[in-house]
Structure formats: structure tokens, C-alpha cells
């Protein structure tokens, strides 16, 4: 149980409390991760000023990503960060350090990232990518047996909390050549309107355009389920940025994660 380190305005509540989503900016960076917790697909902890009728909230996912409600009180935010840092690292999500001004301690590190949104699901580029599926290759859904052979198995178990939760609340597709895995593409978080997607190609097969092909199929499946794809990566991950462009994302924006180490 997370406790409020003595401050009377910090209370814990269920992350799925119906009033919590209205406290957050729906367009916050990494929003699929936040909404996956708010909707009970992934787990986290929420600190609020009132557990029955909250007006402020700081939510930390079990992976460490941390989100602040709109117009949060400085004392509340500082206290919540200190509380969460007693149990683990905190990665506070925002567009720039000016989002929080001088009300939070300067982070141990700042991660510079890009988010990509807004593509046309009917964009001919997506259909063309799917049509490039090479002869002898196939797209296969990731089940339990296939996940155990995947390069990102441990990452998906970490982001989703367990293999069972990945299979229940996330999604994966593999580009296969026979029984050989070529590319893995994942939705690690289904949020509200958006789904966080990413992909990895086996080292020996990189540079052949397999990741965009596999992700085009993944986006098609996301759209079928009523979600739009959301892409993010470090600003120096040029290969990932190229894939996002090939998929037709029309808007990209810089954001930052303010990384705080666990308090000893």
C-alpha cells in the first residue's frame, strides 16, 4: 500500500475510479499508457486529495511512468512525487520542464522523446505496405507459445504486468518466414482512443522494410478494434522515426520524461 508520508492531503484511491479520467489532459504524451491504467487494463497507483471526490491526482503506473492531473497544486505534486519515490523510480511525463516550472525538484535525468499521431487509416501507403508482404512470409498473431520465442517477451511482460495480461489486454503480430520470427509488432497499451504501438526486427533482417509492413497490419487491427495507433520513441532513434514516417503519421511533437531515482 502506498501511503502519504504524513501529508493529510494525500490519499490513495482505485485507479479505475470513474471521476479520475476527467482530471487529466486526454492528449498528454504517452496517453495510451495512462488510460490503460484508468480503464483497468494495466495496474498502477493513484494519489488524490479526496478519495471519494478527487480534484487532484498524480498517478504512477507499475512501470514508473507518472502523470499529473491538470492544474495540480504545487504542494500536492511535490508530496506525491516524494511519496512515490519511496517505492521506486518516477518518470514524470510532460512536454517540457516548463510544464512544471520550479514546483518540482530538478530531475536526475531528462529523456527527450517524440510522439507521432494523426494518420489516415485509408492512406494508400498503408495498403501498399500490406501488399508488400513477401512471398513465403505470413503475419501471425502472437499467442502464448509464440510470445515465449519473441525478443520482446520480457518487455511485454514488464509493460503489461504479466504474460497473461499481455494476452488479455494487449496485442502482438509477428512477421514469419516459416517458423522463423522476422519482425515483432506490438500494442503494449490500449488506452481510450489510442493504442501504443512499436516493433522490433531481428538484427540480421533489418533494413529490408519489414517493420513498416508488419506495423501496417497492426494498425489495421487497431482500427478494426476502434483504436488509432500512437507511436513514440527517443529522439535519436532514427530507425523508429523512419518507420513512423512510412506509416503516414502526420503530426510529431517533442516531449520529455523527467526521471527521478528512488529515494534511499
Q: What is the pLDDT of residues 74-96, one digit of tens each?
A: 999 999 999 999 999 999 998 87
Last residue of a domain, one of 113, 139, 168: 113
Q: Which pLDDT score is estimated for 104? A: 85
Q: Which pLDDT score is estimated for 95? A: 82
What CATH number is attached to the domain comprising 150? Answer: 3.40.630.30
> Would the pLDDT of 139 be above 80?
yes
Count of domains for the chain: 2
5-9, 64-68, 102-106: which range is least confident on average? 5-9
C-alpha 131/C-alpha 120 separation (Å) is 17
Q: How far is CA 167 from the centre of its chain?
A: 16
Same domain, 80 and 150: no
Give the sign of the dihedral formed by CA 29, CA 166, CA 58, CA 81: negative
Report the half-sphere exposure of 178 (CA within 13 A, side-chain side): 1
> Would the pLDDT of 65 be above 90?
yes
Q: Which pLDDT score is estimated for 2? A: 47
Rounded to two decimals, what is the model's pTM? 0.93
The answer to whether residue 264 sits within a structural domain is no
Q: How confident is the model at residue 7 (pLDDT cuts 50, 70, 90)?
A: low
> Would the pLDDT of 55 be above 70?
yes
Q: Which pLDDT score is estimated for 47? A: 96
Q: Name which of 236, 228, 233 is nearest 255 in CA terms.
A: 233
The phi, psi pair for 89, rounded to 5°, reads -70, 155
| Arithmetic mean of pLDDT, 178-203 | 98
> Would the pLDDT of 3 be above 70?
no
The answer to whether residue 256 sits within a structural domain is no
Across the strands, what pairs with 186? 172, 198
C-alpha 86/C-alpha 84 separation (Å) is 5
Domain residues for the domain of 156 are: 119-248
> Would the pLDDT of 182 be above 80?
yes
Same domain, 94 and 125: no
Same domain, 70 and 101: yes
For the chain, how big is the Rg over CA atoms in Å? 19
Task: Compute how many other C-beta atoms are within 10 angstroms of the C-beta atom of residue 82.
Answer: 18
Instruction: Tell me the CA distances in angstroms from 48 to 11, 33, 53, 104, one per residue in order.
Output: 5, 19, 9, 17
> Would the pLDDT of 158 be above 80?
yes
Amino acid at each position: 500500500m502506498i501511503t502519504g508520508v504524513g501529508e493529510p492531503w494525500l490519499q490513495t484511491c482505485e485507479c479505475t475510479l470513474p471521476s479520475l479520467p476527467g482530471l487529466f489532459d486526454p492528449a498528454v504524451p504517452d496517453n495510451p499508457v495512462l488510460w490503460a491504467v484508468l480503464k483497468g487494463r494495466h495496474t498502477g497507483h493513484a494519489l488524490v486529495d479526496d478519495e471519494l471526490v478527487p480534484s487532484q491526482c498524480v498517478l504512477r503506473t507499475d512501470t514508473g511512468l507518472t502523470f499529473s492531473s491538470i492544474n495540480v497544486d504545487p504542494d500536492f505534486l511535490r508530496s506525491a512525487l516524494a511519496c512515490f519515490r519511496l517505492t521506486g523510480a518516477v518518470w514524470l511525463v510532460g512536454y517540457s520542464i516548463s510544464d512544471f516550472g520550479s514546483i518540482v525538484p530538478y530531475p536526475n535525468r531528462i529523456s527527450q522523446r517524440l510522439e507521432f499521431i494523426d494518420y489516415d487509416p485509408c492512406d494508400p501507403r498503408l495498403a501498399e505496405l500490406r501488399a508488400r508482404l513477401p512471398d513465403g512470409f505470413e503475419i501471425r498473431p502472437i499467442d502464448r507459445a509464440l510470445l515465449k520465442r519473441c525478443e520482446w517477451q520480457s518487455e511485454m511482460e514488464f509493460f503489461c504486468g504479466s504474460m497473461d495480461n499481455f494476452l488479455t489486454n494487449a496485442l502482438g503480430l509477428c512477421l514469419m518466414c516459416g517458423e522463423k520470427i522476422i519482425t515483432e509488432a506490438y500494442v503494449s497499451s490500449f488506452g481510450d482512443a489510442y493504442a501504443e504501438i512499436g516493433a522490433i526486427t531481428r538484427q540480421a533482417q533489418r533494413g529490408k522494410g519489414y517493420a513498416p509492413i508488419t506495423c501496417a497490419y497492426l494498425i489495421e487491427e487497431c482500427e478494426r478494434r476502434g483504436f488509432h495507433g500512437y507511436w513514440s520513441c527517443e529522439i535519436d532513434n532514427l530507425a523508429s522515426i523512419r518507420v513512423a514516417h512510412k506509416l503516414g503519421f502526420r503530426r510529431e511533437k517533442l516531449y520529455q520524461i523527467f526521471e527521478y531515482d528512488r529515494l534511499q
